[in-house]
Amino acid sequence: MKGLNRKLVRPNIRIDGNRTSISLDPVMWDALREIAEHQGKAVYQLVTEIDQVREPSIGLTAAIRIYIVEFYRARVAL
């Protein structure tokens, strides 16, 4: 897609007091921030919740992407 920034963003975030780095495309970070704001949460709170309910076989980054897609799919289905 033309004009999209394809460089991954790797900010540090705290999950249950542990510092970790999560690599996502900028558009995914924007979506994650929008969802957190919509829910009245900080991004680290939302990521912590996603981490707590994800399947052990699914990595955190993948779980975040799945959460984002499912969030927006649910809105489209309304």
Contacts with 29 (C-beta within 8 Å, 6 or more apart), sequence order = 9, 11
Q: Which tokens go with 26?
A: 């900028």
Specify the higher pLDDT residue, 6 or 76.
Answer: 76
Determine the Cα–Cα distance for residues 35 and 47; give it in Å rounded to an integer.
11
What the block records as the tokens of 35 is 């969802």
Q: In which domain, by residue range, is 19 found?
A: 12-76
47/22 Cα distance (integer angstroms): 10
Residue 3 in any domain: the answer is no
pLDDT at residue 19 greater than cutoff 80: yes
Tally the domains of the chain: 1
Whether residue 7 is contained in a domain is answered as no
Tell me, what's the pLDDT at 9? 77
Is 5 within a domain?
A: no
43 part of a folded domain: yes
Query: 9 CB contacts (<8 Å, ≥6 apart)?
Result: 23, 24, 25, 26, 29
pLDDT per residue over 23-72, tens digit each? 999 999 999 999 999 999 999 999 999 999 999 999 999 999 999 999 99
Predicted TM-score of the model (pTM): 0.84
Residue 41, domain member (yes or no): yes
User: Is 2 contained in some domain?
Assistant: no
4 domain-assigned: no
